[in-house]
Structure 1
Amino acid sequence: MNAKMPTDRSHIHTEHHHPDSLALDACTPAQLIKQLARDHESVPKIIAAAAGELGAFVQRLVPKMRQGGRLIYIGAGTSGRLGVLDASECPPTFRSDPSQVIGLIAGGDASLRKSSEGREDEPLGAKEQLDPLNLTANDTLLGVAAGGTTPYVLGAIAMAKACGACTALLTCAPRDVPPDCDQLIVLNTGAELLTGSTRLKAGTATKMALNAITTATFAALGKVYGQIMVDLAATNEKLIDRAVRMLTHIAPEVTREQALQLLTQAGGQLRVAIVMAKLNVDRDGAVAKLSAANNSLRDVIG
C-alpha cells in the first residue's frame, strides 16, 4: 500500500453515496437485484440525453475513418475492458478491419482477465501502447474514464493530441473539458448503489454509449442497410443462417437454397450477394456496381 495521501475524490458524482442504498448487506439476493434493476432504469434516458454529444462525436469521426483513420478506445479497469469488448465486436458485426477500431487497457491485455488497478495512476502508462500505432490527424482517440480523472487516460489524450489526432473523453461524472481534449462527453450516471463501484450503472451506460458510437459510425460508412448488418462476417453456422435470412428478407423472391448459393458465389460477402439477387448480375458485376457507388448498398438497389 502506498502511504502517500491520495487526492480527495469526494466531489466526483460516481463516488457519492446513493440515497436509496442503505443496507445492501441486509437485503435478500432478490431484493438487492431488484434495487440494481431499478437503479439501472435511468441508463437509457442518460444515453438519450447525451445523444447530441455522441452524435457530434460520430460526425467528426466518420470523415476521418473514410480517409483511413482509426478509432482508438483507451481506458483502465472496467472502462478499458468495455472499450476492448466493443472494438473486438466490430470485425464480426461489420466486417471491419481489426485495425479500424482498437481497444487499449491500462496494463495491456493481461488486465482483461486480471485486474492491475495501479497502472491507471501512470500518466505516461499508455506510451508503449500508443507509439507503435503512429497516430496521425486522421485518427481519433476516445478516452474512457467513469470518474473522468484517470491519469493513464488523460495522459493518453495528451499524447494523442501531440500527434495531431482528434481527442475526446467519455466520462460518467461532470467535469471541465481537460487540456488537449477536443470534446467532452458526459453520461451523468450519478452515485452507484454499491458506492464507487462504477462497473455497475456507469459501466452499463458506457457500454451502451460505445455500442451506439460504433453502430452509428458503421451505419454512416455503409455497413448497414435498413436494420440489417450487410457486411457481417458469416463465419459459423449461426451467422451463415443469419446471412441467409437477411438476404431473403431484402430479396423475398429468393429461396433459402438460392440465398446460400448466392452467398457462396459472393465469397460470403452478404452485400455482394444482395446486389447479385436484386439486379440479377454475377459477382464481378455486383462488385463493380458497389465500387462505383462507394460501397453504398442503398445507392445501388434503392
Structure 2
Amino acid sequence: MDEQDELRQATTESVNPRTRQIDQLSSQAIVELILEEETRVIPAVLAERTAIAALADVVVERMRRGGRLVYVGAGTSGRLGMLDAIECIPTYGLEPGRIVALVAGGPAALTGPVEAAEDDEEAGARELTALGIGPDDVVLGISASGRTPYVRGALREARQRGAYVAVLVCNRPAPLADLADLVIAPVVGPEVIAGSTRMKAGTAQKLVLTALSTTVMVRLGKTFGNLMVDVRPTNRKLWQRGVRIVMEATGLSEQDAQRVLQEAGGEPKTAIVMAIAGVDAAEARSRLGRAGGLVRAALEESDGG
C-alpha cells in the first residue's frame, strides 16, 4: 500500500461531514461544535482502558528492574510525550532519565515547527540507538496517523534491541501496529478541521499518556492514597503543597508539618513515615528503602513491630 492509500484509509485525515460548513458559523456556534466533537474522545479512550492498563503493568515491571519508558513522536504527538515525561519529574520525584521523550526535530521542535523531521526514519533509529535501549526498556511510539516514518525507524530499532514496543495511534488499521507488541488505538474519527490532529487525536493522546504514567507512578509507590508524596518541593508553591500533603496524611498542624518536613529534608514521604511511625528521618528512609518506596508497606513494618 502506497502513502496516499494509507492516508485515504486514515480516519484522522478524513473530512468530517458535521463540520463542512464551519466557516459560515458564528464564534459561539464554532466553539460549541468543537466541544461537541471533543465529547467523542472519552468513549474512544475508555474503549482502550484494558490495553492502557496492560501497558502500565509492563512498564512497572520493567522500571522496577531499572528499565525506562521511552516516548517517540513527531509534531503534536512528540510534544505531548515530552510534556508527560517532563512533568513526572517534579510531580512524582522521578529521577531524570526514567521516562524519556524523543521528538522528531529535537529540542527545536518544542518551540517551533520542524515538520519535515517526521519523515526522517533514519533519525528515529539513530536517536533511539543513542539511548542505549535494551530488553528492560519500553518504547511507546505515538502517532495519530499511525504511519510516521520517524516513529517507525525508532520502533524498528527498539524491536531489534529487544525492548518491549507499544504504539499509541488514532486509526485502525495502522501501519505502525505491525511493529508493536501492544496497540492502544482510541479512534476519535475525523477532526473538526480535516487532518488537524492536534484536536481530538491530541486530546485522546494526552488522556492516554496521563492515565498510563499516573498508573505507573501509583503502582511504583509515588503516592500515598491520592497524595503525591514524592513531590519535589523545589519552589515556594511546591513546598506549601508538601506541607499540605503531610498535614493531610498525618493530621499534624501546619506548624508541626512544616517542622517534620524540614527534618525530612523536604521529602513528604519520609516526613509522613516519621510522623506516623514516630521515628527519625534516617529510620524512616531505611523503612521506605526496605519497602520499595511504598509508604503503606513502611508503616505496616512499624505496626508489625
TM-score relative to the length of structure 2: 0.94
Q: Which residues in structure 2 correspond to 1:26-45 (within 5 Å)?
A: 26-45=24-43
> What is the match of residue 4 of structure 2?
7
Q: Which residues in structure 2 correspond to 1:115-126 (within 5 Å)?
A: 115-126=113-124
Verify: 1:160 aligned to 2:153, yes or no. no
CA contact (8 A) 2:124 2:152 kept: no
How far apart are 1:6 and its partner, in Å? 5.5
3-state DSSP of counterpart to 1:74: strand
> What is the match of residue 244 of structure 1?
243
1:250 maps to amino acid: A
3-state DSSP of counterpart to 1:119: helix
> What is the match of residue 211 of structure 1?
210
Q: Which residues in structure 2 correspond to 1:1-302 (within 5 Å)?
A: 7-8=4-5, 9-175=7-173, 178-252=177-251, 254-301=252-299
How far apart are 1:273 and its partner, in Å? 0.3
> What is the match of residue 303 of structure 2?
none
How far apart are 1:243 and its partner, in Å? 1.1
The answer for unaligned runs of 5 or more in structure 1 is: none
1:53 maps to amino acid: A
CA distance in 1 between counterparts of 2:180 and 2:41 reads 25
Q: Deviations over 1:48-96 (max 9, x none)?
A: 1110010011111111000110000000100000000000101001100
CA distance in 1 between counterparts of 2:257 and 2:218 reads 23
1:93 maps to amino acid: T
TM-score relative to the length of structure 1: 0.95
Question: Hey, which of these two has a bigger chunk of helix by percent?
Answer: 2
Q: How many pairs align? A: 297
How far apart are 1:179 and its partner, in Å? 3.4
RMSD: 1.3
CA distance in 2 between counterparts of 1:178 and 1:245 reads 44
CA distance in 2 between counterparts of 1:28 and 1:179 reads 44
How far apart are 1:151 and its partner, in Å? 1.1
CA contact (8 A) 1:167 1:181 kept: yes
CA contact (8 A) 1:158 1:179 kept: no
CA distance in 2 between counterparts of 1:140 and 1:26 reads 46
Ranges of 4+ aligned residues in structure 1 off by more than 4 Å: none
How far apart are 1:169 and its partner, in Å? 0.8
2:144 maps to amino acid: A
CA distance in 2 between counterparts of 1:68 and 1:6 reads 39
CA distance in 1 between counterparts of 2:177 and 2:39 reads 30
CA distance in 2 between counterparts of 1:162 and 1:211 reads 28
1:124 maps to amino acid: E
1:214 maps to amino acid: S
1:7 maps to amino acid: Q
